[in-house]
Amino acid sequence: MKKLKFGYHMKLSFSGAVNNHRFSLKCIPHDTDMQQIKELSVSVYPDHIISENTDSYGNITLFGYTNEYHNSFGFDVTGIATTGLADSEKSQELHKVGMYRYHTPITRPGDNIRYFYSGLQLSELKSTREKALRIMEELYSSFQYGQGYTCMETTAEQALSGGQGVCQDYAHIMLSLCRMETIPCRYVAGMMMGEGSSHAWVEVWDEEKWIGYDPTNKRLVDDDYIKISNGRDSADCLVNQGIFTGNVTQTQEISVIVEEVLDE
């Protein structure tokens, strides 16, 4: 068990002024069986949050609107997370687990994923844990971490074909492989101690509980991780979605700091 101090900063900079801006944000970690969040502080600029709600996946979502002209938009989330309270997460809604067994357009396999899957020889393994570990380990050995080779819209098949990608791609490929084995699994967005940006991993349904696997680092999720959201793939966990009026270009800046708080 650890006490982790976190700060999550996101800023969009526009090349000109925009207005009529509607947005939704999924940037707030919440209490689970594995973590407890305290001293939470959330600031959004421009500060026009309309409401807070929970989506169908259990993620805290902020909704807002501003008609003021602005050249930037962003948020800061800080707090303390006590992690490692358990090694898995129970499902509060068992009837929803089944939907995580099915592919989405992002995780749908093509020839490359099917070929990779055939080489895993999962039929010789009995338990879900053994299968998930083999998928994670083989993916880690075969896929290379690299920035700039993929984008938010890259599918699992496209990423594996290219051979390089980031944590989002590792997660999507593992989701695709697990679902080929009809194993319910979900995408997780969050933070990890020592990371300079947000992180992504996979939770696998095993014996009526969710267990986290981090294929980017070939390790099980433990008290170094803070979960923010989960869904069928990254599209269900987008930190920021919105529309605005303005013919502009935009750049995004994300900075995440997670450090352990040691009791004196």
Contact between 202 and 156 (Cβ < 8 Å)? no
State how far the alpha carbon of 76 is from the alpha carbons of 58, 122, 130, 194, 255, in Å.
21, 43, 39, 18, 10
Domains delineated in the chain: 2-84+239-260 (2.60.40.2250), 94-237 (3.10.620.30)
DSSP H or E stretch at residue 172: helix 167-180
pLDDT at 21 over 70: yes
Mean pLDDT value across the chain: 95
91 confidence band (pLDDT: 50, 70, 90): confident
Residues 92-140: tens digit of each pLDDT? 788 889 999 999 999 999 999 999 999 999 999 999 999 999 999 999 9
